[in-house]
Amino acid sequence: MTARRLALLWTALAASGLGGCAADGIGGYSTASLYREGIRTVAVPIWTRDADVFRRELEFRLTEAVIKRIETDTPYRVAPRAEADTLLVGRIVEVTQQVLNVNPDTGRPRQLEVQLIVAYTWTDLRTGRELVTVPRLAAAGVYTPPRPFDEDFFLGSAAALDEVALRVVESMEQPW
């Protein structure tokens, strides 16, 4: 086989391989939005907490984190329920802390983990259809209480709240 024929063969094989990468729209790349068409607004009432969750104001911080994520990461706009296309309702099911490691000299914790467990539903108010239902979503944050860090539950829970908000917004994407 001559060098010219070999070059033509390689060019043809490369061209046919490149054409198949995204032509089918399934295995390739797409410029379509990840979010549902026809939805413009979301109502987000203040999340609630179960009766045995005793951390005050956590529901307000979580609501604020979810709203900020929706407004920055999605094309949706947060609106009052009377004007919204959809409704995102959630509750904090459980808040736990556990010691990750202990200072052997003092017996005091070096690091603690805060775990939040939430449940939420995203409903289309126009049709009444549930778009997303998550009965249990867990997220965690870590903080270091001893000196020199002097971090507290507020800081540890901030990471967990942000993780919950991120995962809630990710669940608002269309299924692939």
| Distance in angstroms (rounded) separating the CA atoms of residues 49 and 56 | 9
* Per-residue pLDDT tens digits for 141-151: 999 887 788 88
Longest dimension (CA), the chain: 81
Q: Which CATH architecture has domain 35-171?
A: 3-Layer(aba) Sandwich (3.40)
pLDDT of residue 7: 67
Amino acid at 27: G
Confidence of residue 20 (pLDDT cuts 50, 70, 90): very low
State the pLDDT at residue 2.
Answer: 72
Distances (CA, A) of 89 to 59, 74, 83, 148: 12, 17, 16, 39
pTM across the whole model: 0.79
Query: At residue 25, does pLDDT exceed 90?
Result: no
Residue type, 78: V
Q: What is the C-alpha to C-alpha distance for residues 130 and 69, in angstroms, rounded to an integer?
A: 21
Q: pLDDT class for 15, splitting at 50, 70, 90?
A: low
The mean pLDDT of 31-58, rounded to a whole number, is 92
Mean pLDDT of the chain: 88
Domain ranges of the chain: 1-31, 35-171
